[in-house]
Amino acid sequence: AQSVTQLDSQVPVFEEAPVELRCNYSSSVSVYLFWYVQYPNQGLQLLLKYLSGSTLVESINGFEAEFNKSQTSFHLRKPSVHISDTAEYFCAVSDDNTDKLIFGTGTRLQVFP
Partner 1 sequence: DSGVTQTPKHLITATGQRVTLRCSPRSGDLSVYWYQQSLDQGLQFLIQYYNGEERAKGNILERFSAQQFPDLHSELNLSSLELGDSALYFCASSVQGGTQYFGPGTRLLVL
Among positions 43, 52, 60, 70, the unique one binding partner 1 when judged by CB under 8 A: 43
Binding of residue 100 to partner 1 (CB under 8 A): yes
> How far is the C-alpha of 12 from the C-alpha of 46, rounded, in Å?
22
| DSSP at 31 | E
| Interface with partner 1 (CB under 8 A), residue from 30, 80, 84, 98 | 98
Applying CB under 8 A, among 19, 31, 102, 111 the residue interacting with partner 1 is 102
Q: 81 vs 87, which CB is nearer to partner 1?
A: 87
Ordered DSSP codes for 49-85: EE-SS-SEEE-TTS-EEEEETTTTEEEEEESS--GGG
